[in-house]
Each structure stands twice: as structure tokens, then as C-alpha cells.
Amino acid sequence: GWTKMEYHRGDVRNPEALDAAFESAEVIVHLAFMITGTASRETIRAINVEGTLNVFAAAAKAGARRFVYASSVAAYGFHPDNPIGMTEDWPVRPADRLFYAQEKAELERLLHERSSEHPDIALYLIRPPIVLGPHAVGAKDVLPASVASAARQMLRLAKRFRVPILVPGPDLPMQLIHEDDVGQALLKCVVAEGPPGAYNIAGDGILTAADVLRELGLTPVPVPGALAQSAARAAALIPRGSLVPPAAEWIEAASHPAIMDTTRAKRELGWRPRYTGLEALRDTLRQRG
């Protein structure tokens, strides 16, 4: 770890612990958020929503000058009227079903409300898309280890014997970002002179699901984007129960594109991504073998 970094284990549901940790802090960067897992929805909300508000309250109590929060492109929701290249002026609207997107949108609204009550704290929000990199968490935890291991073995055998593995490759646009570029955006929010507010960040370039499949060594079978989106919308309506895993909610993210314009972060924060979206994907695959 960093030699000047002190690590303290805590719980965002414990205001007293936050008060002790934030004493004399000038800037608070809040990243804690549950995105998958088997915890109850009540527990997830207590951590994600109530915990974030606890963190902001502790920051205000400590007299912090800046509060930096990692939001998400998901805060825009997955709506049919989302334009390609949403700017920060486009409204944040909750998704229909995906709890992650709903809570990200709700928290942006709540943080703006809390910020208006504490004008001495400058509120910075960053909205990344899917975060990749050798240390990024999330996608690698969705599949059980045994399933992921079997998939890697299948890919190795397919490459060895030059057998193409055909997989539906929807023409769905997406953005990706490297973990290092997220870190640089957070750093800019901490130390740069850019004004507070929301900032879209993403690696340059728009990819499709077919592009990702090709990088994985698979052979995509073309699927029209409109067809894939219709299927995703239908699947998102399936009632969640014992036969449907919680992670299935994420299929709503494929129902409508959520593509951002990142001009403001580059112009006002001076942020420049080192990796394109494709380079972020390739670096992740290279590091993880």
C-alpha cells in the first residue's frame, strides 16, 4: 500500500466511527457501495443510501471543504429517450428495476439536498461506466469461481484446437473505463480547481458487445441492437424469485443505451483518460490471463 496511507476498518452505518475517522479531514472521497451479493435489500440500502448520507453528515461535522462521490452512468437510467452522448445537463432519472441504478440516482438527489444545507462543502460527483483493470471488482465476482474457471478452460481448448465458439453478439453500444483513469478523475476532484458538480468520465470510443466477445476470443453472431434491447426489456420484467438470481436485475442495463459525453471533465477538470475503452478491456484481459 501507499506509505502515507493509514487504513482503518469501519462501517458506514456507524456514525460515531465516521466522526472519529474524519476528524480534521479537509476532503472526503466516498466509494463504498454494494453492487452484488446475497445480502437483503434492506441491508444493501442501509449501506448504500443511508451509509452514504452518514458519510456526508460526518464530513460536514468535520468541516470538510470537499466531498467527492463516485456515482455512475447508471444514475441516468436506461430510458428510450436517452440520447447518445448525454451531457451532464441531461436529467438523472431512476431506472425501472435495477436497484443499483435507482440508488445511484436517488443519492445524487439526496446529496444535492444535503449540500444545499452545507454550502461550505463543494460537492463533486463522477459518473463512470463499467470500470475495468487488473484490480477492478464487480464483474469478476458475478460468476462463481467454478463457472469462471470452466469458461477459461473452454476458451483455452478452443484456441488450441482452433475451434470457433459462436456466441450472440448484440450491436449494443457501451463505454468502458480503466481503473487508473477513474483514480485520476477522483484526484482531479480532490486537488484541481475545477468547479464542483457532476462529471461524466469514460474511456474514449464506443464499443459493442460484439467487440467485447472478439477480445475474449469468441466469435460473435450478429444480433440487431433493437432485437437485443427488446429481449432485455422483456427479461427485465420477469418477477424476481427463488429461481432468478439477484444479478439478473442487471439485464435492464441492456434495455436502452446509456452513452455519455465526457467533454466537461476534460475541459473543466483537465482530466484526460490514458486508456481508450478498448485499451482498458485489453489491459484487463492481459493482466488476468
In a domain, 167, yes or no: yes
In a domain, 235, yes or no: yes
Range of the domain at 108: 15-288
What total of structural domains would you count in the chain? Answer: 1
* pLDDT for residue 187 is more than 80: yes
* Cα atoms found within 13 Å of the Cα of residue 262, Cβ hemisphere only: 28
In a domain, 5, yes or no: no
* pLDDT for residue 157 is more than 80: no
- pLDDT-derived band at 225, boundaries 50, 70, 90: low
In a domain, 1, yes or no: no
* pLDDT for residue 252 is more than 80: no
The separation between the first and the last C-alpha atoms of the chain, rounded to the nearest angstrom, is 23
In a domain, 100, yes or no: yes
Beta bridge partners of 132: 178
* Cα atoms found within 13 Å of the Cα of residue 42, Cβ hemisphere only: 0
In a domain, 8, yes or no: no
Q: What is the pLDDT of residue 125?
A: 99
* pLDDT for residue 32 is more than 90: yes
Find the mean pLDDT for residues 77-101.
93
| Residue showing cell 460526518 | 58
Kindly tell me the number of DSSP H helices and DSSP E strands found in the chain.
11, 10
In a domain, 143, yes or no: yes
Which CATH number characterizes residue 71's domain? 3.40.50.720
CA angle 169, 86, 135 (to 5 degrees): 60
Find the mean pLDDT for residues 34-40.
80
Q: What is the pLDDT of residue 141?
A: 41
Percentage of the chain with pLDDT > 70? Answer: 78
Find the mean pLDDT for residues 222-239.
60
Percentage of the chain with pLDDT > 90? Answer: 59
In a domain, 2, yes or no: no
* pLDDT tens column, 48-77: 999 999 999 999 999 999 999 999 999 999
